[in-house]
């Protein structure tokens, strides 16, 4: 018999709709029942692509004895962390304090007042090694609640006080954010860098695209070669490793080993977005065509497999298929031979490390032990001939793979993650000259603004199956506004500027801490939170506070909004103590600080009747690696397109000078003399940033 979760839209919650556990979603009904019956809450938080969430669900939540005990002694609430990151953020911090570690599935016990007093992650149903059984844990918690109530409540109050104190920690700081913070972070990254395989630290290894983009900025500002070397080593080994899907494109979540070979096979939308931007900037900085190829293959995967027919982008693909982790992506040598035939299979196996013994549980994770160029160099094959054959082999294997049972998909559309993908597609469209990426970004933006924005301008957080739900959070406003600004710079349609402003204004009104600076993760009227936390640290996605600050810098400069610039500066000052203390967890703040410190060229381009010359100037401006540039463009003759009054300050006093195109550059509150004509305009662009 289905429980209450059957009425939800979240694929993760629907996975638990048939359990004997009397699950509630996070809702007033459940919270009120806990208060009325004076029962503790068992809060279980996970997500649809989480392998160990599936394991605990099968072992424990489908267990009749455990379900009966849970239903009798607790009010049970199941939460999708992707639908409610504000709850996940708050209670994960509590679990880390209580148990010394965190992760998913997250299992936490709350008082009826929603204060956590005990928690952990995965527990097996019966004792296993040093882990207690889940039924034992439930019994101990129940007994403590019934016989040691005051002790439990004291622990809950103490933990809540600790969480509140941590939220206030280090708010006051006399120093102003400066370049020494960037130097400190660069030193830490240099010390923890793995010079052999790239990345930072040892196994497990997670992609850190924000840190890599920070290092690219470091190289772009000062031409420090070690910074670029760290980026290239990491990107090269990730693209060659098993963490990358060599047949279908896109990146898996992380690598379980040091050399990026064995991934955790789930695919997340935000990884595709953030890594695409990182590889795109690396291509701008180096001109290496391999980086552009990775961007295209990754974004093509998203458009092919992660795009909803209505225009938004789906959240995740699972690690498991047919009950086994990674099975969809693994190959035996015999399977490769059956698809390709013996001769082509031999070449493919040699290049992609396929052996009879396998490298993962008797099967093979495709990877590149050597580059295709290296393989061609030590054999008789012509490089271009080998490339063409391997491309055909990949297509044939990908087609064969598509007939397998595909991993499960979480097809909900999350505004914040979609904002990240809109930015990636828009920037790739502009830099690589791919109109289909621009169309996809625009369609997604229109879908979100039509279906997930209310009449009062406030956002919903998630959409699935025609239904929007959950109040929007800080990162929804910030990521979508940031994506819209990148969409403007990709096609110069000024309606995106107005749309971004209409998101920034409620973002400031509802989430900013006017007293101390910075931004809260949830709005004051979000409800059912024991305290509001600031979204300071990067996780798998950028800090919402740092992304909001980035948006205010961008809009403040584009639209001459001095109040936005003041709020951004105050937010940086609020984040300063944590940036000093945790340089590795604040990469998006470092990018925002780098923007604030500059230089940040502002470029105004006015077109000419020679549209080909204007297009070439804009193309060169987009292709070159120029960190933190702001670019606006208008044609010489209005075409009836939307013109935003918010941009009038950028264009005021600037006229097209024959023969055009005309380029104005301002930097550090100083404007250079305008230049006109294709040659002069291209020379000006080249002076701003160049491809090595």
Q: Single out the residue of 447, 207, 198 nearest to residue 310, CA to CA.
A: 447
Q: Is 385 among the domain residues? A: yes
Mean pLDDT of 230-242: 98
Whether 195 contacts 575, CB under 8 Å: no
**DSSP-based three-state secondary structure for 676:** strand
**Are 290 and 349 within one domain?**
no
Domain end call among 356, 384, 406: 406
pLDDT above 70: residue 1: no
Dist. CA 481–CA 501, nearest whole Å: 8
Q: Is 477 among the domain residues? A: yes
**Are 203 and 278 within one domain?**
yes
Quick one: pLDDT at residue 165? Answer: 79
- For residue 91, give the CATH number of its domain: 3.40.30.10
Whether 502 contacts 457, CB under 8 Å: yes
Quick one: pLDDT at residue 692? Answer: 44
How does DSSP classify residue 6?
G
**Are 31 and 45 within one domain?**
yes
**Are 282 and 429 within one domain?**
yes
**Are 155 and 33 within one domain?**
yes
What the block records as the tokens of 10 is 């979240």
Instruction: Count CB-CB contacts under 10 A for residue 132.
Output: 15
Whether 498 contacts 644, CB under 8 Å: yes
Task: State the pairing for strand pair 41-46/75-80.
Answer: parallel
Dist. CA 587–CA 41, nearest whole Å: 36
Q: Is 175 among the domain residues? A: no
Q: Is 341 among the domain residues? A: yes
| Tens digit of each residue's pLDDT (9 = 90 or more) over 395-442 | 999 999 999 999 999 999 999 999 999 999 999 999 999 999 999 999
Mean pLDDT of 277-301: 97
Measured at the CA of 435, the angle between CA 432 and CA 437, to 5 degrees, comes to: 80
Q: Pick the range with the lowest mean pLDDT from 168-182, 327-341, 661-675.
A: 168-182
**DSSP-based three-state secondary structure for 340:** helix
Q: Is 342 among the domain residues? A: yes
| Confidence class for position 467, pLDDT limits 50, 70, 90 | very high
Domain end call among 134, 168, 202: 168
Q: Which domain holds residue 568?
A: 180-321+410-597
**Are 295 and 213 within one domain?**
yes
Domain end call among 553, 582, 597: 597
Quick one: pLDDT at residue 379? Answer: 67
pLDDT above 90: residue 680: yes
More confident residue, 687 or 307: 307
| Tens digit of each residue's pLDDT (9 = 90 or more) over 141-195 | 999 999 999 999 999 999 999 888 776 655 555 567 788 999 999 999 999 999 9
**Are 101 and 208 within one domain?**
no
The dihedrals phi and psi of 303, each to the nearest 5 degrees, come to -65, -35
Question: Would you call the peptide bond into 155 cis, given omega within 30 degrees of 0 as the criterion?
Answer: no
The dihedrals phi and psi of 81, each to the nearest 5 degrees, come to -60, -25
pLDDT above 70: residue 391: yes
More confident residue, 160 or 246: 246
pLDDT above 90: residue 522: yes
Quick one: pLDDT at residue 172? Answer: 52
**Are 286 and 357 within one domain?**
no
Q: Is 336 among the domain residues? A: yes
**Are 457 and 593 within one domain?**
yes
| Confidence class for position 628, pLDDT limits 50, 70, 90 | confident
- For residue 645, give the CATH number of its domain: 3.40.30
Quick one: pLDDT at residue 174? Answer: 57
- In percent, how much of the chain has pLDDT > 70? 97
The dihedrals phi and psi of 18, each to the nearest 5 degrees, come to -95, 5
**Are 533 and 452 within one domain?**
yes
Mean pLDDT of 369-375: 89
Query: Domain tally for the chain?
Result: 4
**Are 300 and 282 within one domain?**
yes
**Are 588 and 444 within one domain?**
yes
Average model confidence (pLDDT) across the chain: 93
Using H for helix, E for strand and C for coil, what is the string for 15-47? HCCCCCCCEECCCHHHHHHHHHHCCCEEEEEEC
Q: Is 173 among the domain residues? A: no
Mean pLDDT of 257-281: 97
| Tens digit of each residue's pLDDT (9 = 90 or more) over 557-571 | 999 899 999 999 999
- In percent, how much of the chain has pLDDT > 90? 83
More confident residue, 534 or 419: 419
Quick one: pLDDT at residue 140? Answer: 96
- For residue 541, give the CATH number of its domain: 1.50.10.10
pLDDT above 50: residue 470: yes
Residues 6+ apart with CB under 8 A from 168: none
Q: Is 17 among the domain residues? A: yes
């Amino acid at each position: 018999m289905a429980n209450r979760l059957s009425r939800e839209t979240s694929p993760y919650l629907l996975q638990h709709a048939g359990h004997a556990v009397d699950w509630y979603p996070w809702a007033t009904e459940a919270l009120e029942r806990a208060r009325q019956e004076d029962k503790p809450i068992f809060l279980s938080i996970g997500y649809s692509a989480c392998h160990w969430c599936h394991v605990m669900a099968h072992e424990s939540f489908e267990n009749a004895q455990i379900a009966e005990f849970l239903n009798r002694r607790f009010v049970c609430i199941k939460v999708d962390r992707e639908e409610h990151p504000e709850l996940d953020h708050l209670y994960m911090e509590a679990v880390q304090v209580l148990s010394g570690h965190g992760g998913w599935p997250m299992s936490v016990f709350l008082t009826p007042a929603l204060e956590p007093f005990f928690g952990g992650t995965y527990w097996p149903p019966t004792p296993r090694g040093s882990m207690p059984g889940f039924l034992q844990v439930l019994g101990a918690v129940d007994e403590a609640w019934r016989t040691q109530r005051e002790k439990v409540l004291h622990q809950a109050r103490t933990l809540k006080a600790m969480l509140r104190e941590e939220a206030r920690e280090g708010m006051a700081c006399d120093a102003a954010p400066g370049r020494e913070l960037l130097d400190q972070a660069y030193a830490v990254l240099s010390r923890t860098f793995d010079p052999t395989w790239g990345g930072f630290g040892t196994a497990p290894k997670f992609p850190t695209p924000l840190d890599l983009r920070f290092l690219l900025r470091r190289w772009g500002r000062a031409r420090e070669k070690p910074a670029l070397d760290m980026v290239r080593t990491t990107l090269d080994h990730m693209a060659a490793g098993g963490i990358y899907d060599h047949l279908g494109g896109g990146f898996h979540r992380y690598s379980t080993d040091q050399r990026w070979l064995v991934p955790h096979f789930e695919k997340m939308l935000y990884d595709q977005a953030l890594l695409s931007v990182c590889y795109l900037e690396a291509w701008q900085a180096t001109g290496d065509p391999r980086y552009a190829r990775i961007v295209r293959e990754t974004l093509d995967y998203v458009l092919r497999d992660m795009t909803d027919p209505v225009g938004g982008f789906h959240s995740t693909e699972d690690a498991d298929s047919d009950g086994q982790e990674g099975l969809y992506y693994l190959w035996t040598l015999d399977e490769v031979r059956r698809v390709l035939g013996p001769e082509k299979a031999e070449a493919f196996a040699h290049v992609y490390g396929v052996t009879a013994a396998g490298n993962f549980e008797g099967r093979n994770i495709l990877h590149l032990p050597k580059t295709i160029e290296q393989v061609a160099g030590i054999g008789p094959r012509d490089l271009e001939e080998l490339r063409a054959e391997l491309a055909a082999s990949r297509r044939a294997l990908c087609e064969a793979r598509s007939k397998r049972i595909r991993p499960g998909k979480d097809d909900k559309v999350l505004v914040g993650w979609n904002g990240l993908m809109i930015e990636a597609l828009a920037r790739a469209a502009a830099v690589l000259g791919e109109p289909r990426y621009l169309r996809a970004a625009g369609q997604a933006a229109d879908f979100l603004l039509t279906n997930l924005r209310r009449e009062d301008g406030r956002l919903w957080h998630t959409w699935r199956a025609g239904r929007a739900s959950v109040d929007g959070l800080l990162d929804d406003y910030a990521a979508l506004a940031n994506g819209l600004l990148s969409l403007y710079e990709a096609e110069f349609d000024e309606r995106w500027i107005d749309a971004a402003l209409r998101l920034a204004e409620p973002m400031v009104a509802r989430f900013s801490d006017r007293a101390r600076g910075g931004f809260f993760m949830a709005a004051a009227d979000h409800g059912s939170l024991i305290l509001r936390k600031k979204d300071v640290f990067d996780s798998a996605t950028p800090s919402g506070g740092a992304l909001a600050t980035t948006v205010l810098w961008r809009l403040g400069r584009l639209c001459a909004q001095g109040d936005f610039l003041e709020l951004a500066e105050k937010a940086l000052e609020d984040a300063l103590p944590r940036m000093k203390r945790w340089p590795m967890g604040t990469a998006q703040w470092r990018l925002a600080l780098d923007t604030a410190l500059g230089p940040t060229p502002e470029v105004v381009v006015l077109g000419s009747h020679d549209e080909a010359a204007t297009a070439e100037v804009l193309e060169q401006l987009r292709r070159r690696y120029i960190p933190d540039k702001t670019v606006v463009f208008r044609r010489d003759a209005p075409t009836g397109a939307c013109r935003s009054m918010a941009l009038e300050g950028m264009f005021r006093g600037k006229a097209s000078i024959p023969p055009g195109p005309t380029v104005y550059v301002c930097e550090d509150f100083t404007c250079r003399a305008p230049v006109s004509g294709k040659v002069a305009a291209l020379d000006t662009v080249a002076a701003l940033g160049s491809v090595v």
